Amino acid sequence: GTTGGPALPRYVRVNTLKTSVSEVITYFTRKGYTYLGKARSIEEIGEFAQKRGKRFLQDLHIPDLLVFPSDTDFHKDSLYTAGHLILQDKASCLPALLLSPPVGAHVIDACAAPGNKTSHLAAILQNKGKVFAFDLDTKRLATMSTLLLRAGVTCQELANQDFLTINSSDPKYQKVHHILLDPSCSGSGMPDRMRTLDEEAESKQNERLEALSAFQSRALSHALSFPSVQNVVYSTCSVHQQENEDVVKNILEQHTDFRLVKALPSWPVRGLNTFPGSDCCLRASLSETLTNGFFVALFQRKNKDCKSSN
Ligand code: SAM
C-alpha cells in the first residue's frame, strides 16, 4: 500500500462442499498461475503478498485457504460465482476451524449473517447434521440465504430471531454440543475502521464499547447456558480489550463449569495478559498475522469424569 505498511493478502477459502483444494490448485494452474506450495511462515506470506503476478500459496494455518497477492480480484471469477471459492479473511476462518464440530453434529451459529462462518461450519459438517443459525437483521439474513445457496449449504435452519430469547432448554437444541458466537462488535479490527479519534469521539466510543461489551457478555453467557453444550467459540473483529479479554474474564468468573482451551497453540499472537490463562485466547492483526484485527476464545465444559489436562 501507499503507507508502506504490510498489505493484506487476498485470502480465498476453498468451499469443500463443492470442490477440493487440489481441484482448485489444478484450475488456477491451468489458468496460468504458479503454485508455490504451502507457506512456511507468516513472513513468507508477507513478502509474497507485496508481489504482483499470477502466483499463489497454500496457507500455513488453515488447510483449505489459498493465498494470492493483494491486488488479485476474484469477484468475477467463475469459481467464485459458482460458490467454489469463498472470499473470506484468514482470521475469520479461525472460529469454525477451532470449533471443528464432527460430521453430523448439531451446531448453533448464534449471530450468523451474512453467513461466511455458517458456510464454513457446513463444510466441516459435510452438510450432515444441522446448523441452527440466528440473526436479528432481516436484510442480512436475506443476503445470507443467497450466499448459502451459492455455497451449496443444505444443513442450515435459519431463524430471524434474537439469540438472547432462544430457549436453551427447548428439546430442539438437546443435541447441540457446539456453539459459535460471533456477535456484533465495534469492528475496530477492520481496515477501514482504524482511525484516530478526538476527545469527544473517544468518550462516545467508550459508551458504545460498554454497551457492546454488555451485549457480548450476555450472549456468551446465554451460549454457555445450553444444557448439552461442550464447546463454545467466541470471536470478534474488534481490537478492544473491553470486547475481548474483559468479556472472557467476566464470563469465566460467572461460569465456573467452563474453562478456556488454548486456541491454535501454533498461532503467534495471544490474548492480552489481563488474567491468568488469557494466553489461551488468540489475537490477529494486520501487522502481526497479515489478517484483519480479530480475537478468538475457545471455551470447553469441564467434565467431572475427565481429568483436566495440565
Ligand atoms: N458470523 C457472521 C459471518 O461470519 O458472516 C458475521 C456476524 S456479525 C459480526 C454480527 C451479527 O449479529 C449481525 O449480523 C447482527 O445482525 C447480529 N446480531 C446482533 N444482535 C443479535 C442478537 N441479539 N441475536 C442474533 N443476532 C444478532
Q: What is the pLDDT of residues 254-263, one digit of tens each?
A: 999 999 999 9
Between the CA of 219 and the centroid of ligand 1 the distance, in Å, is 11
Residue 142 banded pLDDT, cuts 50, 70, 90: very high
The cell 469441564 sits on which residue? 302
Number of H helices, E strands in the chain: 9, 13
Is the CB of 115 within 6 Å of ligand 1?
A: yes
Q: What is the pLDDT of residue 309?
A: 43
Cβ(137) – ligand 1 distance below 6 Å: yes
d(CA 135, ligand 1 centre) in Å = 5
Greatest Cα pair distance in the chain: 56
Catalytic residue among 111, 155, 185, 237: 237
- pLDDT > 80? residue 196: no
Distance from C-alpha of 27 to C-alpha of 39, rounded to nearest angstrom: 19
Radius of gyration from C-alpha coordinates of the chain: 19
155 is an active site residue:
no
CA of 182 from ligand 1 middle (Å) equals: 7
DSSP alpha helices (H): ranges in 6-151? 21-30, 42-50, 78-81, 94-99, 116-125, 138-150
Q: Answer whether residue 216 shows pLDDT above 80.
A: yes
Q: What is the pLDDT of residues 7-17, one digit of tens each?
A: 899 999 999 99
Pairing of strands 176-181, 294-301: unpaired
Structure pTM? 0.95
Q: Taking the C-alpha atoms of 101, 105, 110 and 113 in order, what is their torsion angle to the nearest 10 degrees?
A: 80
- Whether 140 is in the pocket of ligand 1, judged by its Cβ within 6 Å, is yes
What is the grid cell recorded at 3? 503507507
As given in the structure block, the three cell numbers for residue 1 are 500500500
Range 269-296 average pLDDT: 97
Residue pair 132/110 in contact by the 8 Å Cβ criterion: no
| Cβ(89) – ligand 1 distance below 6 Å | no
Is residue 119 pLDDT above 50, yes or no? yes
Q: Which atom of ligand 1 is found nearest the CA of 187?
A: 9
163 pocket-lining for ligand 1 (C-beta < 6 Å) = yes
Q: Evaluate whether 234 touches 203 at the Cβ level (below 8 Å).
A: no
User: By three-state DSSP, how is residue 299 classified?
Assistant: strand
Question: Is residue 72 scored above 50 in pLDDT?
Answer: yes
